[in-house]
Amino acid sequence: MTPTKNTTAPMPAVTVSSIPGRETSENIGIVFGSSVRSRNFIFDIFAAFKNLFGGEVRSYTRLLEDAQSEATSRMLEQAKKLEADAVVDVHFATSQVAYKAAEIFAYGTAVRLK
Amino acid sequence: MEEVILPGILLTALIGIAYLTGRLADAAHERALKRDEALLPQQVLDSGSNIPGDITLYDSALVTGKVVIAEDRFRNLLARLRIFVGGRLSAHEASVTRAKREVLLRMRTNAKGASHIIGVRFESAQLRRGMIEMVVSGTALYTDHRPSGGAPAALPDEGVNISHRNLLVEFLSASTAFLLICWVIYAASGMMVEWASHEISVEDEIAIWSQLEPELINGHRTADERSLAENYLVDLINSVPKEALGPAAAYDFDVIIVPDETPNAAALPGGLMLVHSGMIDLVESENELLSILGHEIGHYNGRDHLEGLGREVVGVALSAMMFQADAVLTTWVAGWPKMLSDLDYSRSQELDADKWSLKILMAKYGHVGEVATTFEKLGQMQGGHSVMDYLATHPHPQDRVDRLYKMAREQNLPMGQPIELQEAFENFLVRTGEIPASALEEGRKFSLTTTKD
């Protein structure tokens, strides 16, 4: 298997311990990516209103989606720098680093495949 | 002005110090991380739970690493601006990334003899605002496989996780956007306030204010009684023919003399005027004094006092909304709307109010002598510290002097002899029976500002 470095194909990332159907040859180590984002005050005000009536806060869902995809792509970018073929055992975690701002971080094990 | 400038300088200095100490702490942490990471043995880290097959396992243990990093005040402020404007908090991305490197480092130091750490999990805790807390845990495997020395292969590359932007540039762009948004909100609400203040009639205002006034003026006046000087000022206003007062004639005017050396006067809702003792010290004739009071009456007619109050309320509400958790900032920012509203008050509205000075003087004395004398004095005092307030929030005094004289000329208003203030006050005292006429003949003096009950 040729390294995915320099290729534009997305690197596979899975939440299980191996890429299904592929064997892992080498464990490179833990890689992670994080993203800290906020929505602006208008969305914050809408969200506060939403808090009165209940229901999905779409603007915050968008915020999480954006943050999650950025965190993931940063994690993959780091794996790419380490010349890994895939990232396995991916986990996501969130933290509230500041009021009304969300941090999402993704971490996993960068591996080379046989 | 001073209440905004001084805390502003102080706050800027504090934030500047926080910026420097924060960057020093960042750099020191970064160096320490690089040094310690290089010293660690090359352990294999795994976020999954695979026990490698090609090793002989001797022992296993739970290992953890924790860290709490405090933000500096500068980053805190930057985050707050950024959260308001929206977008990426790059200042935080650097510190959350360092926090993760730090906990990994600590966990690996705790598992020094281990060749593998599997089942690695990150958790974040929330101790309090403005702090970044990170916990990592894993299972250390002690095996026959000795970890080799030197820098481990998979170190989190900080370059990936941080948007490389200078914090000062970031601060500048965030605060520019912030100020722009604030200005738009402030201007929009100002228009609403302007509309609303003209919708409230004098009668409504009096009715609303009579419910509130006793509580609000408590701080200024201990008893419900006016001092002799305050009585004199009220009497002076009431002696003006009602038809000259315009819509403001509906007010039952009240005056409070505030012990303050700054020459200033203000119109509060409900017909309550505040006159600084410094203003009374400055004027020498009754005509001058009535010119000042007439100007404030002009503000009532223009409904300017409600507008100023409304803007202030909007401004304070806005700043409280944005900086709710930050007492120092809120108090500081709360000073701004007041200044802005005063500034707005000035340019057009002050000049309109001056027209009423002319009208009221004309109705009372039949001439407009000394209508601009106080402004002339203020113009000469310019540069003096005590008049800072008055000058900053009003058009240039000399401009107003010229304008007033020009208006008087255009309308062919006569200039007559003024009535000396001391004399007028003493006559008032005798007329109301406060002192016997003989007291004056004995040579006793009654000063306006010191005649307090």
CB B368 within 8 A of CB B414: yes
Q: Are strands A24-38 and A86-98 parallel, antiparallel or unpaired?
A: unpaired
* pLDDT value of residue B387: 47
The number of CA neighbours under 13 Å toward the Cβ of B370 is 22
CATH 3.30.110.70 fits A24-38+67-113, yes or no: yes
CATH number at residue B99: 3.30.110.70
B251 and B302 co-located in one domain: yes
B45 touches chain A (CB under 8 A): yes
Tell me the shortest Cα–Cα distance from B126 to chain A, in angstroms.
7
Asked whether residue B151 is assigned to any structural domain, the reply reads no
B212 and B271 co-located in one domain: yes
Chain A hits for B80, CB-CB cut-off 8 Å, are: 98
Query: Domain limits at B125?
Result: 2-144
Tell me which residue of B232, B225, B281, B291 sits closest to B425, measured CA to CA.
B232
The residue length of chain B stands at 453
Asked whether residue B452 is assigned to any structural domain, the reply reads no
B235 and B128 co-located in one domain: no
What is the C-alpha end-to-end distance of chain A, expressed in Å? 6
The CA distances from residue B112 to A28, A29, B44, B147, B374, in Å, are 18, 16, 12, 10, 82
* pLDDT value of residue B56: 85
B64 and B185 co-located in one domain: no
Domain boundary among the residues B144, B161, B192 is at B144
From chain B residues 324-363, the ones with a CB under 8 A of any chain A CB are 325
Q: Is A64 helix (H, G, I), strand (E, B) or coil?
A: helix
- The complex's ipTM works out to 0.82
* pLDDT value of residue B452: 40
B120 and B257 co-located in one domain: no
* pLDDT value of residue A107: 92
- Distance from CA of residue B224 to its chain's centroid? 32
* pLDDT value of residue B329: 59
- Summarised one tens digit per residue, pLDDT across range B99-137 is 888 998 999 999 888 888 999 999 887 777 778 888 999
Reading chain B (453 residues) residue by residue, the pLDDT tens digits are: 556 677 778 888 888 898 899 889 888 988 898 888 888 888 888 888 878 777 888 888 999 999 998 888 888 888 888 888 888 888 788 888 888 889 989 999 998 888 889 999 998 877 777 788 889 999 999 988 776 655 554 555 556 666 666 788 888 888 888 888 878 877 787 788 778 877 888 878 777 776 665 555 544 554 456 788 888 888 888 888 888 888 888 888 888 888 888 788 888 777 888 888 888 888 888 888 898 888 888 888 888 877 777 776 776 676 666 655 555 555 555 555 555 545 445 567 777 888 888 888 888 888 888 888 888 887 777 554 444 444 455 566 777 788 888 888 888 888 888 888 888 888 888 888 777 777 776 666 667 765 443
Provide the residue ranges of all domains of chain A, joining segments of one domain with +. Answer: 24-38+67-113
CA-only gyration radius of chain B, Å: 35
Q: What letters, b where the CB count within 10 A reaches 16 and e where it falls short, cover B154-178?
A: bbbbbebbbeeeebeebbeebbebb
CB A103 within 8 A of CB A36: yes
From chain B residues 140-169, the ones with a CB under 8 A of any chain A CB are 152-157, 160-161
* pLDDT value of residue B389: 47
Nearest chain A residue (CA) to B44: A29
> CB burial class (10 A; 0-12, 13-18, 19+) of residue B353?
buried
Asked whether residue B164 is assigned to any structural domain, the reply reads no
Minimal Cβ distance to B93: which of A30, A36, A43: A36
- Whether B153 and A37 lie within 8 Å, measured CB to CB: no
Nearest chain B residue (CA) to A32: B156
Query: Taking CB atoms and an 8 Å cut-off, how many pairs form between chains A and B?
Result: 135
Asked whether residue B72 is assigned to any structural domain, the reply reads yes
Chain A hits for B48, CB-CB cut-off 8 Å, are: 16-17, 88-89, 109
Asked whether residue B430 is assigned to any structural domain, the reply reads yes
Identify the H or E element spanning A92: strand A86-98
Tell me the shortest Cα–Cα distance from B129 to chain A, in angstroms.
6
A30 touches chain B (CB under 8 A): yes
B97 and B225 co-located in one domain: no
B18 and B112 co-located in one domain: yes
A11 touches chain B (CB under 8 A): no
A97 touches chain B (CB under 8 A): yes
Q: Are strands B131-143 and B116-123 parallel, antiparallel or unpaired?
A: antiparallel
Nearest chain A residue (CA) to B48: A89
- Whether B153 and A30 lie within 8 Å, measured CB to CB: no
Using pLDDT thresholds of 50, 70 and 90, give the confidence band for residue A2.
very low
Asked whether residue B177 is assigned to any structural domain, the reply reads yes
Higher pLDDT, A7 or B85: B85
Chain B hits for A34, CB-CB cut-off 8 Å, are: 93, 96-97, 100, 161
- Whether B84 and A40 lie within 8 Å, measured CB to CB: yes
Residue B247 tokens read as 């819509």
- Whether B83 and A31 lie within 8 Å, measured CB to CB: no
Site from B37, B77, B81, B93 to mutate, A interface, most A CB atoms within 10 angstroms: B93
Nearest chain B residue (CA) to A94: B124
CB B140 within 8 A of CB B63: yes
Residue appearing with tokens 């490389």: B164
Asked whether residue B247 is assigned to any structural domain, the reply reads yes
B250 touches chain A (CB under 8 A): no
B286 and B346 co-located in one domain: yes
Q: Is A105 helix (H, G, I), strand (E, B) or coil?
A: strand
The CA distances from residue B74 to B80, B126, B240, B333, in Å, are 10, 20, 57, 16
Report the percentage of chain A scoring pLDDT > 90.
16
Structural domains counted in chain B: 2
* pLDDT value of residue B65: 93
Site from A36, A73, A83 to mutate, B interface, most B CB atoms within 10 angstroms: A36
